[in-house]
């Protein structure tokens, strides 16, 4: 199956699991021989958009530049995994419009959980007023209204979330199903298990 | 007269060849006893001509793990075969590991890449058969002969030889007499095939695995040990045929071929089967949704409040959050504390009948394994004292049991290796050393990063 490019857009507050999921998904897609590129907010902000801050205007410009790159890659048959807080609905809608093949993955966890996790120590600083314009604390996050996938990292394992995303990508035809690597039919497996049980190995 | 140019070309050195016989589960100590008692004259003669050595198996000491380690030269966290049964920790779907799950290159593929012609028959975990330069016949977990053979067309030759994939274990459980009948019929077919391949096919490496030894031992080891007059003679008669075969094979080999044989573990009489999940339940570490559990649901019958469960043989898995389905044990300090607690308790566990200790060691997985598939390994591997056979049944009503059908179990430190024509000084080594040794004999460079070294 020829690879159909797609932009898979992970959105959610800091610490919700966007990057972790994108990394995990990248590994799985590469296993299925797809071409993949990751665009990550933390990394992009050290390079392509290092001149930008976190005001609304700057956030919108951040997403606009990333969209430019994502669109180029998507139309050349690459699976783009983009992990950005991207708190504004309008900005995300523009990415969807531009890239056309677009799958929005809303990475959710309750704010209390994110503050407790505080994986990068940022919530503490934001709550102390040391960081301004911090999403969830001093800046809004507009939850997606109709994302293709919603994951909840407070109740799901990463494998469960991955399974949901893959199911959607397979359904939409962006990703071929995993090769069935079972060496046995169901009947064969039952017979082999019976053989092992007879020998006391199960 | 000095050799002319053309004469030199004609007399070019014959490349070295190897014949390798697998004797599944034949203990070194038992085989030595046969030799010492005059019951194996051919093996005795061959032992004089080479090195017959005691070898350590793998942990756990099951054939799928041991032969996977032999054929890849790496430990389980690199070849990814940890037992006869395994599970996907995220879904709890259980599966039987096959060659598709094996993540390392096999000896026969390395030899094939080097231009050697290989014939490999009946080795565990070789189904589905991988492509080789030669012939490969999958082991006893092949669903049929037709599916077990590479190239597929060779199946018809094997059928004409009356080749049998495996002795019928259910028949063997019905009676000891049937067990003897079944293993002998399978052995006949296996040896007949060995002679055919030895004499009629081209090969640089010929490997035939005798599984029937392990079968015989599972059903009749105790009868042999107790010198049961009804069955011990048949047991020794079986080994006379093994000895005859070794002698006949050796006699057919030219001076440029080395004979080796190997067993993957030893055997002893089962004193008690030990149901590790029963023990985990008794200690509150495992709870089931239903008692007795619905067998069709497998590990899904594990209640989410459980913190551990066991897979055959003696593997304990801790239900770590983020790895195990609905796992609740936090990685890090909580995991380590629980693992230590279970390990310590295992060493304290006593046979309720005899009062003796059941487990001699509780290995943490990182003590045994290293490599990219470490996460697939169980968290603890319990090493029993000889005679205590740890089992993975999800539910049993008692902690221990002694049955009459399966009477023999595997042991760890009584496997053997024979290398014809060589003196091997090393006295302590394991299955990991076998592949590098074979590559050395065949003058083929080993792949990078094997976990063992050649014994030569």
Summarised one tens digit per residue, pLDDT across range B1-29 is: 444 545 444 444 557 999 999 999 999 99
Give the range among A8-12, A119-123, B208-212, B337-341 with minimum mean pLDDT: A119-123
Residue B89: per-residue pLDDT:
93
Q: What percent of chain B has pLDDT over 70?
A: 97
Asked whether the beta carbons of residue A196 and residue B96 sit closer than 8 angstroms, the reply is yes
Asked whether the beta carbons of residue A192 and residue B128 sit closer than 8 angstroms, the reply is no
Residue B14: per-residue pLDDT:
57
Q: Is the Cβ–Cβ distance between B298 and B94 less than 8 Å?
A: yes
Residue A159: per-residue pLDDT:
85
Q: Which among A157, A188, A201 is the nearest to B84, CB-wise?
A: A201
What is the rounded distance in angstroms from the CA atom of residue B345 to the CA atom of residue A116? 35
Asked whether the beta carbons of residue B322 and residue A183 sit closer than 8 angstroms, the reply is no
**Partner B, chain A 83-102, Cβ-Cβ below 8 Å:** none
CA B226 to chain centre: 25
Q: Which among A189, A193, A202 is the nearest to B392, CB-wise?
A: A202
Residue B2: per-residue pLDDT:
45
Summarised one tens digit per residue, pLDDT across range B354-363 is: 999 999 999 9
Residue B173: per-residue pLDDT:
87
Tokens of A49: 């958009």
Tokens of B252: 């057919």
Q: What are phi and psi of B278, to 5 degrees?
A: -60, -45
Q: Where are the domains of chain A?
A: 6-198
Asked whether the beta carbons of residue B391 and residue A193 sit closer than 8 angstroms, the reply is no
Residue A47, chain B, CB below 8 Å: the answer is: no
How is B241-301 classified by DSSP, letter by letter? HHHHHHHHHHHH--TTEEEEEE-S-EEEE-SEEEEHHHHHHHTTS--BSSSS--GGGGGGG
* pTM: predicted TM-score of the whole model, two decimal places: 0.76
Q: Element (H or E) spanning A167, and its range?
A: helix A158-171
Give the confidence band of B426 by pLDDT, cuts at 50, 70, 90.
confident
Residue A190, chain B, CB below 8 Å: the answer is: no
Asked whether the beta carbons of residue B140 and residue A202 sit closer than 8 angstroms, the reply is no
Q: What percent of chain B has pLDDT over 90?
A: 92
Q: Where are the domains of chain B?
A: 16-269+410-441, 272-401
Gap from A77 CA to chain B (nearest CA, Å): 30
Q: Which among A183, A193, A199 is the nearest to B127, CB-wise?
A: A183
Catalytic residue numbers of A read: 86
Residue A27, chain B, CB below 8 Å: the answer is: no
Look at residues B67, B40, B410, B35 and name the one whose alpha carbon lies nearest to residue B217.
Answer: B410
Summarised one tens digit per residue, pLDDT across range B372-414 is: 899 999 999 999 999 999 999 999 999 999 999 999 999 999 9
Protein fold of B16-269+410-441: Alkaline Phosphatase, subunit A (3.40.720)
Summarised one tens digit per residue, pLDDT across range B132-142 is: 999 999 999 99
Tokens of B348: 């304290």
Q: Is the Cβ–Cβ distance between A22 and A153 less than 8 Å?
A: no
Average per-residue pLDDT in chain B? Answer: 94
Q: Which among B96, B101, B391 is the nearest to A192, CB-wise?
A: B96
What is the CATH class of A6-198? Answer: alpha beta
Instruction: Name the residue with tokens 């080395």.
Output: B258
Give the range among A116-125, B220-229, B261-270 with minimum mean pLDDT: A116-125
What is the rounded distance in angstroms from the CA atom of residue B388 to the CA atom of residue B411? 10
Residue A42, chain B, CB below 8 Å: the answer is: no
What is the rounded distance in angstroms from the CA atom of residue B139 to the CA atom of residue B119? 13
**Would you tell me the crossing angle of helices B176-200 and B212-225 to the nearest 10 degrees?**
140
Gap from B301 CA to chain A (nearest CA, Å): 16
Residue B9: per-residue pLDDT:
45
Instruction: Name the residue with tokens 């050290």.
Output: A46
Residue B11: per-residue pLDDT:
44
Which residues of chain A are within 8 Å of residue B273 when distances are taken between CB atoms? Answer: 200
Give the confidence band of B286 by pLDDT, cuts at 50, 70, 90.
very high
Which residues of chain A are within 8 Å of residue B313 when distances are taken between CB atoms? Answer: 201
pLDDT tens-digit profile, chain A (202 residues): 578 999 999 999 999 999 999 999 998 898 788 999 999 999 999 999 999 999 999 999 999 999 999 999 999 999 999 999 999 999 999 999 999 999 999 999 999 999 999 988 999 999 999 999 999 999 999 999 999 999 999 988 888 899 899 999 998 999 987 766 678 988 999 999 999 999 988 8
Task: Name the residue of chain A whose CA is nearest to B218's CA.
Answer: A199
More confidently predicted of B143 and B8: B143
């Amino acid at each position: 199956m020829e690879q159909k490019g797609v932009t898979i857009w992970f959105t959610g507050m800091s610490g919700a699991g966007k990057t972790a999921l994108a990394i995990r998904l990248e590994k799985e897609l590469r296993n299925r021989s797809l071409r993949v590129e990751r665009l990550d907010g933390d990394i992009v902000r050290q390079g392509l958009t290092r001149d930008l801050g976190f005001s609304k205007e700057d956030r919108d410009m951040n997403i606009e530049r990333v969209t430019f790159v994502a669109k180029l890659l998507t139309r050349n048959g690459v699976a783009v995994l983009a992990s950005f807080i991207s708190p504004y609905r309008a900005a995300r809608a523009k990415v969807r419009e531009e890239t056309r093949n677009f799958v929005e993955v809303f990475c959710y966890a309750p704010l209390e959980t994110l503050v407790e996790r505080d994986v990068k120590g940022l919530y503490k600083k934001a709550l102390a007023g040391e960081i301004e314009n911090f999403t969830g604390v001093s800046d809004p996050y507009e939850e997606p209204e109709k994302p293709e996938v919603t994951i909840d990292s407070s109740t799901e394992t990463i494998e469960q979330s991955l399974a949901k995303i893959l199911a959607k990508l397979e359904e939409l035809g962006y990703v071929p199903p995993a090769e069935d690597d079972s060496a046995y039919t169901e009947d064969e497996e039952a017979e082999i298990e019976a053989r092992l049980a007879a020998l006391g190995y199960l | 007269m000095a050799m002319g140019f053309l004469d030199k070309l004609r007399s070019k050195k014959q490349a070295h060849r190897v014949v390798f016989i697998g004797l599944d589960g034949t203990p070194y100590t038992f085989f030595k006893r046969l030799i010492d008692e005059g019951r194996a004259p051919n093996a005795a003669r061959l032992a004089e001509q080479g090195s017959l050595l005691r070898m350590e198996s793998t942990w756990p000491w099951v054939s799928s793990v041991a032969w996977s380690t032999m054929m890849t030269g790496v430990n389980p966290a690199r070849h990814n075969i940890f037992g006869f049964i395994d599970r996907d920790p995220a879904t709890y779907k259980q599966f039987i590991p096959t060659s598709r799950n094996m993540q390392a290159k096999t000896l026969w593929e390395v030899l094939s890449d080097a231009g050697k012609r290989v014939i490999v028959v009946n080795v565990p975990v070789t189904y589905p058969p991988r492509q080789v330069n030669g012939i490969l016949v999958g082991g006893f977990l092949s669903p049929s002969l037709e599916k077990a053979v590479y190239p597929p067309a060779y199946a018809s030759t094997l059928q004409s030889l009356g080749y049998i994939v495996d002795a019928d274990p259910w028949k063997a459980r019905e009676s000891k007499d049937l067990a003897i009948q079944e293993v002998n019929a399978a052995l006949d077919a296996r040896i007949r095939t060995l002679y055919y391949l030895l004499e009629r096919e081209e090969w640089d490496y010929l490997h035939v695995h005798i599984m029937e030894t392990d079968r015989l031992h599972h059903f009749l080891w105790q009868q042999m040990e107790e010198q049961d007059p009804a069955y011990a003679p048949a047991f020794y008669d079986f080994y006379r045929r093994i000895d005859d075969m070794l002698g006949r094979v050796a006699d057919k080999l030219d001076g440029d071929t080395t004979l080796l044989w190997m067993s993957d573990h030893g055997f002893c009489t089962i004193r008690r089967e030990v149901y590790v999940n029963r023990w985990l339940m008794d200690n509150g570490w495992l709870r089931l949704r239903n008692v007795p559990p619905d067998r069709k649901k497998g590990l899904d019958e594990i209640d989410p409040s459980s913190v551990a469960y066991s897979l055959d043989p003696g593997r304990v898995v801790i239900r770590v959050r983020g790895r195990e389905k609905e796992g609740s044990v936090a990685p890090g300090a909580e995991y380590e504390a629980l693992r230590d607690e279970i390990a310590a308790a295992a060493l304290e566990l006593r046979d309720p009948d005899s009062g003796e200790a059941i487990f001699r060691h509780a290995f943490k997985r990182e003590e045994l394994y290293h490599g990219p598939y470490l996460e697939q390994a169980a968290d603890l591997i319990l090493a029993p004292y000889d005679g205590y056979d740890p089992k993975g049944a999800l539910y049993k009503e008692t902690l221990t049991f002694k049955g009459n059908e399966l009477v023999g179990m595997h042991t760890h430190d009584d496997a053997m290796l024979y290398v014809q024509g060589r003196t091997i000084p090393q006295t302590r080594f394991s299955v990991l050393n076998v592949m590098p040794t074979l590559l050395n004999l065949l003058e083929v460079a080993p792949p990078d990063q094997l976990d063992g070294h050649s014994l030569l």
